[in-house]
Chain A
Amino acid sequence: MSNSDLKVEARGERALVISRTFNAPVEMVFDAHTKPELVRQWLLGPEGWTMPVCEIDLRPGGRYRYVWKKEKTGDEMGMGGEFKEVTRPEKYVATEKFDESWYPGEGLSTTTFEERAGKTYFQNVMQYESRAAREAVLASPMEEGLVVGYDRLESLLNKQAQAAGQGE
């Protein structure tokens, strides 16, 4: 579907790794990931979603909060976390948790940017709290992308609850 060098891989038992090269200087790519007025222009998921809330307090101990909305149905999906480390323009580390999380615990997301010949090599490592957490992420429905509507999420959680009930 594209000729970009985007790579997605499962690493070890608990991590997912995404990497890609962007044809822009490192400060610019860093800002596009950390300035709300820029982030809300691209971090939208599938067609039809907007990002009504995008707040980022970019400093260690600062928090961020994202809410996406599917305009057609009114479905909303929120997530947020706390920055643990911020070194512009090469790195930030933050926790990540969805409001109605379908996986146990928080994720720890480490994002790095490295300039190579005028381009920027980006890498994000999502470390989940346990093997079970990554398992739940890998089993989440992807038809709507990562941004599952609440209706979907609810049916998924119901399914899991029923499955757990039957297992007992």
Chain B
Amino acid sequence: MVDSRIESNRLDATFAALADPTRRAILARLANGEATVNDLVKPFNISQPAISKHLKVLERAGLISKDIDRQRRPRRIEAAPMAEANAWLEKYREFWEVNYKRLDSLLDVMKTAEKKKKSEVKRKNE
């Protein structure tokens, strides 16, 4: 019963985490392989505490995990929550595309009708 609540909270955390460009860049970097905090400090040109803060947000959202057994605790990307958020948006997209395909057809009909009207007016004027 609580499942949907937990799921929706996680989804919210996922989107909040993804709303920040630096965090998206960190994820993009981790998609290429695990990295430690120090690995991330250099390319992003921001302080270690700032990187750690971003990593915490990403961890809370379940987007990344750290290897606690190893000394350097490298972070790696977690695929599941990202897939969950994408799946919802993909379904939402499909829903709208069904509507918009119908709108495409309607616009075609409207364009044809307008052309016909214009050519009739032209004929009348001639």
Contact = CB atoms under 8 A, between A and B. Distances in A.
Chains A and B are bound partners: yes
A139 B4 CA distance: 8
Contact of B106 (A20, A41, A131, A145): A41
A142 interface: yes
B16 A13 contact: yes
Contact of B111 (A11, A13, A28, A131): A28
Question: Which range contains the number of A residues in contact with the other chain?
Answer: 35 or more
A20 B96 CA distance: 10
Nearest to A43: B99
Contacts of A11: 19
B97 A13 contact: no
Interface stretch (B52-60, B67-75, B83-91): B83-91
Interface stretch (A72-80, A87-95, A156-164): A156-164
A117 interface: no
Interface string B1-37: 1101101110110011011000000000000000000
A87 to B, nearest CB: 21
B98 A145 contact: yes
A150 interface: no
A32 B93 contact: no
A54 to B, nearest CB: 14
B120 interface: no
Interface of B: 1-2, 4-5, 7-9, 11-12, 15-16, 18-19, 85, 88-89, 91-107, 110-111, 114
Given A38-B106, A42-B103, A138-B12, 10 more contacts: A2-B97, A22-B104, A32-B106, A32-B110, A45-B98, A134-B15, A135-B11, A135-B12, A138-B8, A159-B4
24 contacts: A2-B97, A2-B101, A7-B93, A13-B16, A22-B103, A22-B104, A22-B107, A32-B103, A38-B110, A42-B99, A42-B100, A43-B99, A46-B98, A135-B8, A135-B9, A138-B8, A139-B8, A145-B95, A146-B92, A146-B95, A160-B5, A163-B5, A166-B2, A167-B5
